[in-house]
Chain A
Amino acid sequence: MKSRLFLISLLLTSSLSAMACWWNQLEPEKHWIFYLGYPTEGNWQLALDKQLKEENITFWHKYVGGAVPREAVEKAIYEVFLLNENTTDPFFALLMKKRDSVALRYWMSLKTQDPRYENEMRWRQSAWWYPESDSDGKQWDNYPFDKDPKKQKIDLSIMKVRELNEECMEQCPNRDIRNRYVLQLLRKYFYRSEYENCVKLWEKQGGGVPQSALRTQCLNYYGGALLRLGRRNDAATVYAGIGYFNIFLHYDPEVLREVCRQQPDNSGLEFMVQQFVNAYFDHPKPEKAAAFNRLAEEMVRNRECHNPALWKSAQAAIAYTSRNTREAMRLLAESEKLRGSGMVKENIRMMRLLFNSTRTDNDSLYEAALYPDLQWLTGLINADIRKTDTNNYEESFYGTYLEGLHGETFLSNLALHRVKVLRRVVYLGAVPHFERIGEQYKSIAFLNLYNEVFNDDKKVREYARNGQLKAFVTQRGTVYLHPPVYRGTYIRNYWNPYPHWFGFKEIARKIYSNDTWQLNYDYNSDFFRYMDSSLLEDVLQYVAFLQSGGKTPMERYLIRNSYRDTNYYYELIGTKYMRRQQFAAAARYFRKVSDKFLKTQNIAEYLNAGRNPFAEKWITNREKGVYALPYDPVKEFANNPTKLNFCHIMLRLRETAAKGKTAEQRAHASYAYAVGLFQSNGGHAWALNHYSDNCYLNMEYLTESSELYLDDEEESAPDWRELYREKMLKQVDLWANNALKYDKDRLFTLKCKLLHSKHRNQLKEKVVRKYAWSDDFTYTDEVFNKEVQKAFCDNWQDHRK
């Protein structure tokens, strides 16, 4: 009884600890929970520059009535630095031919200097500038003479702006060109630090500039000038208006208070609050939280504030970050009742889902709280996927973009945020919750749901069914199939795993056409890896759950949104039975799997006659041992190299080992069984029991050695691979020992001994000692095999004598 209890407790602890270990790999990445649709940082300026450039080219192209190609216009604007009467540039030549003095005067005022001067000026105004030498060329001086390079005066003599002035602008009859003068003048004043002039000019002329990238850029200079004149709140209003928020990046409730006092309804406040809450998330400082809460309470009471829900929900986020979940829930419930913008309301619902997912209530309450919001969120994500022009949402989600056949595809920040919230809800909320209450199958169901969110695009599936497959390479050099037919498929080139080293795009396509690609990891996402490493009992329970159809709305929803290919589940269960040597049960499941499915597995090409589990690889290059059996397991497997056939052969061998007619037959069957076990687990026929590199992470082999695993000390905790090997080799030894009972044939005895781990380890130790300097396990293994052959051959010669 005691031993039974011990075994049960051991099994329980092992399964929990194993889960914990796997869990470390499933942690979601950094993510800020409070998100109102504003990018936290980004390339606002770059995007504006790009937009302005496009707008500029379009304007001038249209101005000359398309008489000059667009590319030529671009070249004239951005590559001609000095303009004079003798120009050969087609754009300017055309203006001269037309005698367009208005446009020419504008361009003459700008094209009088090398733009590198301007870049140099910008650089000199930057805090990063460091003088490389003195103005007279001396390298050494007493720098830093005033300890602050920014205070050093910039030598404006290098600027040769002669023509650009307000008079030119005012005399210009063309309104569009006049607006362009405004921008150039603002720029000129700004970089000369003439901020007063900058402000005056915009306030006088700005009203006439229509909404455009040009206007945004003008406002950008205007805001900058205001800021430098100390008019911070006016600058804040300008920046909020054009959507440039980097100015608000400071984690300071006092700055917030100042803006609120001046303009309680400033649209930049949403961004500022978002930044504050997220900065608090990173660096929680209670005194700042207290100051913020006071301000938030005031703002909620302030009638001029049109967005009180923003402040209340921010308080809730801060309470949650301070681990005060109950208070957070209360504040969130209050914020739902207050006025707020659409984005604030969405954010409140997202937070409610996040908070609820970490509740510790009993099952039914937990599910009821989670279900409506979860359904809503997955709906939003599915809509995002349909809107996004990408067929590989998951890849885009993880921040890399697809190169080559697609062009660049990025997800919007909001879409990314939604996926990240779901990821947190699943990984940090639901999965640990259901594990805690012992409903493992629901944890799996949530992972399945998350996995399926990325595979919801029906168009992609249709595309895949038509067989229009293409390969493409990401920037990282990873090669994907497009569209992704197999779940989380990753393929690599057999001959050249790093095509990107040699100009990846072209070469990858070329190699792909040579048919040398192979599926490397199949079903390689968190959910599938989790399934592969789960205990058989958990998988069976999960499949039963899928088949049950679900009792509650949440269960039905989870099932409806799961990956439900029965082929996959039957094949996995069969393999798990096979790993436990329950071949009859395994065969029952394998029979239900379709051939089509088996052919698309990544391991399909490893299941071949060349990787025969009954072949004694270590002596195949020499004289083969022949099994003294009424049937030849080697040939039988070679005829049909499938898992199902392997199970049949192993069952037959087991039967012969028990009921064979002669002792020799019984011994040979035991030996062949041991070889089959050895080869199908750690040998060249590994594909029978494993799917890829993660094959060693199976829980199936860890139950007995769990106490070793639980030991935290580095030295004594063995590698997972070692645990697995240890377990399987014990089994091999058991059958090899059975075979050894028949000791009339000396060669056969030698073969059994060689398979026996004790002897193999002795050899291995010899090899490892000899090649101890080598860290390369594969190399040592190769040497080991050679040594085995040598040892065996020596004995073989001995035997012959």
Chain B
Amino acid sequence: MKKTHLIITAAAAAIAGAIIFLIVAQNTRKTVRTDIPNSIYYWNTRFRIDKNEAQFLKRNDIRRMYVRFFDVDLNREDYFHDTCAPVADIEFYREDLDLVDSLKVEIVPVVFITPAAIRHYRSFTDNLAHRIHAMCRRYSISISEVQFDCDWTASTRDDFFQFLKEVRPSLEGYFQKKIYISSTTRLHQLAQTPPEADYGVLMCYNTGDFKDFNTKNSILDVKDVKPYLKYLKKYRLPLAIALPTYEWYVEFDGNQKFVKLDSYFSRLKDTLEYRKIGENLYEKLDALAFPEGSTRYVRHDQVPAETIIATKQLIQKKYGKTAIVLFNLEYYQLRKYTEDEIKAFFD
């Protein structure tokens, strides 16, 4: 009896092993870093997490937060010493970091590097690693990964790739441990050779030109994503997918020329001041406010849940299931989606 029991147990273990093996084998492109639960970006200059945002993190079991630490740009002030310099530092607050820590959310520093700066990467690679280390030490942030965001093109590709190669040993030297490197991947970059990072985060947003009056939705239009999908199948870098939950308001003058971009525009709700003239287009009624007598238009770009889900499914159909990252943790923008919709983004 015992023997039979043992045989059955062994057989069950073998079958389970085989299933695990098959699952692992099917996901050969994925790495440990893309095999994660839900993640979100935090793209702000002040690290403040309010009650609603904390609840959002908890409710959706978000375990990783990509936090923009600073940007790197050409140094306009003191280029004698440093050709490039960090700008727009994030400001951390102890209680908010403690809150995130208590929710067991891993922080991944993200550094945005401007295309102009990446050309001079040699002048800052080591300083950048030193700085990330200093920031992490100061705020007792334990990290195991750093992400770099750069809109590289064919002309800056070599510089960015070389930068990634050189920054890894620098970071590992300062942190004295293995540091994973990830990189954001824009849709147009899919057509190019991928960088030597551990994985990439495919940015499925900013697909249209927001300055163009005729753009329907500059944040995400499935039509704009489709042409790039053919590259996904053969793309060698493991990818996570970043989906947009943010919104913005684009203001145009009477000649339909771009004026400015706002992330918040409460007056739009005032029907005496603005009139809805299209699906997401508003016209200012009070033309007197502008001396030329010209009117103004405001386009409210936001992405409906269906579009987000459709985009995700479209990509996953080509690429397979992988981690999802939402952009961005701002409760007033996230609240437009229901809980079920948010769950569907992550599922």
Known interface pairs A249-B120, A775-B28; 10 further A-B residue pairs with C-beta atoms within 8 A, sorted by A's residue number:
A125-B81, A126-B81, A128-B86, A130-B89, A130-B138, A132-B137, A143-B138, A144-B89, A282-B155, A774-B25
Are A41 and B154 interface neighbours, CB within 8 A?
A: no
Considering only residues 116-173 of chain B, those with a C-beta below 8 Å from chain A are 119-120, 122-124, 127-128, 130-131, 134-135, 137-140, 154-155, 158
In the complex, identify which listed stretch (B72-80, B196-204, B260-268, B277-285) lies at the interface while the others stay far away: B72-80
Contacts of A224 in B (CB 8 A): 80
What is the distance, in angstroms, from B6's C-beta to the closest C-beta of chain A?
31
13 pairs, CB–CB < 8 Å, chain A vs chain B: A125-B81, A127-B82, A128-B130, A129-B131, A131-B134, A132-B134, A139-B138, A139-B139, A249-B83, A250-B79, A773-B22, A773-B26, A774-B25
Contacts of B89 in A (CB 8 A): 130, 144
- Cα distance A154–B261 in the bound complex, in angstroms: 40
Q: In chain A, what residue has the closest Cβ to B84?
A: A127
Are A127 and B137 interface neighbours, CB within 8 A?
A: no
Are B131 and A128 interface neighbours, CB within 8 A?
A: yes
- Cα distance A603–B131 in the bound complex, in angstroms: 53
What is the distance, in angstroms, from B314's C-beta to the closest C-beta of chain A?
14
Tell whether B85 is near chain A: CB-to-CB under 8 Å.
Answer: yes
Contacts of A228 in B (CB 8 A): 80
Considering only residues 87-132 of chain B, those with a C-beta below 8 Å from chain A are 89, 91, 94, 119-120, 122-124, 127-128, 130-131
How many Cβ-Cβ contacts under 8 Å join chain A to chain B? 74
Tell whether B230 is near chain A: CB-to-CB under 8 Å.
Answer: yes
What is the distance, in angstroms, from A252's C-beta to the closest C-beta of chain B?
10
Are A150 and B86 interface neighbours, CB within 8 A?
A: no
Are A127 and B78 interface neighbours, CB within 8 A?
A: yes
Are A128 and B154 interface neighbours, CB within 8 A?
A: no
Are B79 and A247 interface neighbours, CB within 8 A?
A: yes
Given contacts A126-B127, A714-B230, contact A131 B155 (CB under 8 A): no
Given contacts A41-B120, A247-B80, A773-B26, contact A128 B127 (CB under 8 A): yes
Are A128 and B155 interface neighbours, CB within 8 A?
A: no
Are A132 and B138 interface neighbours, CB within 8 A?
A: yes
Are B127 and A30 interface neighbours, CB within 8 A?
A: no
Are A128 and B128 interface neighbours, CB within 8 A?
A: yes
Instruction: Tell me the A residues contacting B by CB distance below 8 Å.
Output: 29-30, 41, 43, 123, 125-133, 139-140, 143-144, 150, 224, 227-228, 246-247, 249-250, 282, 714, 773-775
What is the distance, in angstroms, from B159's C-beta to the closest C-beta of chain A?
9
Instruction: Tell me the B residues contacting A by CB distance below 8 Å.
Output: 22, 25-26, 28, 74-75, 77-83, 85-86, 89, 91, 94, 119-120, 122-124, 127-128, 130-131, 134-135, 137-140, 154-155, 158, 230, 233
Are B81 and A127 interface neighbours, CB within 8 A?
A: yes
- Cα distance A227–B81 in the bound complex, in angstroms: 11
Are B130 and A123 interface neighbours, CB within 8 A?
A: yes
- Cα distance A632–B77 in the bound complex, in angstroms: 83
Contacts of A125 in B (CB 8 A): 81
The 9 closest A-B pairs by CB, nearest first: A714-B230, A127-B85, A128-B127, A130-B134, A30-B155, A132-B134, A127-B82, A132-B137, A128-B131
- Cα distance A247–B74 in the bound complex, in angstroms: 12
What is the distance, in angstroms, from A143's C-beta to the closest C-beta of chain B?
7
Are A130 and B26 interface neighbours, CB within 8 A?
A: no
Q: In chain A, what residue has the closest Cβ to B162?
A: A399
Contacts of A282 in B (CB 8 A): 155
- Cα distance A775–B320 in the bound complex, in angstroms: 14
Are B135 and A127 interface neighbours, CB within 8 A?
A: no
- Cα distance A139–B122 in the bound complex, in angstroms: 30
Contacts of B25 in A (CB 8 A): 773-774
**Per a CB cutoff under 8 Å, which of A123, A128, A774 touches B85?**
A128
- Cα distance A150–B80 in the bound complex, in angstroms: 14
Are A246 and B79 interface neighbours, CB within 8 A?
A: yes
Are A41 and B122 interface neighbours, CB within 8 A?
A: yes
Contacts of A129 in B (CB 8 A): 131, 134
- Cα distance A246–B123 in the bound complex, in angstroms: 11
Contacts of B75 in A (CB 8 A): 127
- Cα distance A82–B140 in the bound complex, in angstroms: 35
Are A128 and B158 interface neighbours, CB within 8 A?
A: no
Q: In chain B, what residue has the closest Cβ to A122?
A: B81
Contacts of B140 in A (CB 8 A): 139
Which among A123, A126, A227 has the greatest number of chain B C-beta atoms within 10 A?
A: A126
Given contacts A128-B128, A246-B83, contact A150 B137 (CB under 8 A): no
Q: In chain B, what residue has the closest Cβ to A31?
A: B155
- Cα distance A150–B87 in the bound complex, in angstroms: 12
Contacts of B139 in A (CB 8 A): 139
What is the distance, in angstroms, from B137's C-beta to the closest C-beta of chain A?
5
Contacts of B83 in A (CB 8 A): 41, 246, 249
Contacts of B137 in A (CB 8 A): 132-133
- Cα distance A227–B79 in the bound complex, in angstroms: 10
- Cα distance A24–B235 in the bound complex, in angstroms: 18
- Cα distance A127–B72 in the bound complex, in angstroms: 11
Which among A128, A131, A150, A774 has the greatest number of chain B C-beta atoms within 10 A?
A: A128
Q: In chain A, what residue has the closest Cβ to B119?
A: A41
Contacts of A30 in B (CB 8 A): 154-155, 158
Q: In chain A, what residue has the closest Cβ to B78?
A: A127
**Per a CB cutoff under 8 Å, which of A29, A128, A133 touches B124?**
A128
Contacts of A139 in B (CB 8 A): 138-140
Q: In chain A, what residue has the closest Cβ to B230?
A: A714
- Cα distance A43–B28 in the bound complex, in angstroms: 42
Q: In chain B, what residue has the closest Cβ to A281?
A: B155
Given contacts A41-B119, A773-B26, contact A131 B154 (CB under 8 A): no
- Cα distance A250–B75 in the bound complex, in angstroms: 10
Contacts of B122 in A (CB 8 A): 41, 43
Are B135 and A130 interface neighbours, CB within 8 A?
A: yes
What is the distance, in angstroms, from B175's C-beta to the closest C-beta of chain A?
13
What is the distance, in angstroms, from B73's C-beta to the closest C-beta of chain A?
11
Q: In chain A, what residue has the closest Cβ to B232?
A: A714
Are B158 and A29 interface neighbours, CB within 8 A?
A: yes
Q: In chain B, what residue has the closest Cβ to A46?
A: B122
Are A249 and B79 interface neighbours, CB within 8 A?
A: yes
Q: In chain B, what residue has the closest Cβ to A125?
A: B81
Contacts of A714 in B (CB 8 A): 230, 233
- Cα distance A127–B134 in the bound complex, in angstroms: 13
Q: In chain B, what residue has the closest Cβ to A139?
A: B138
- Cα distance A139–B230 in the bound complex, in angstroms: 50
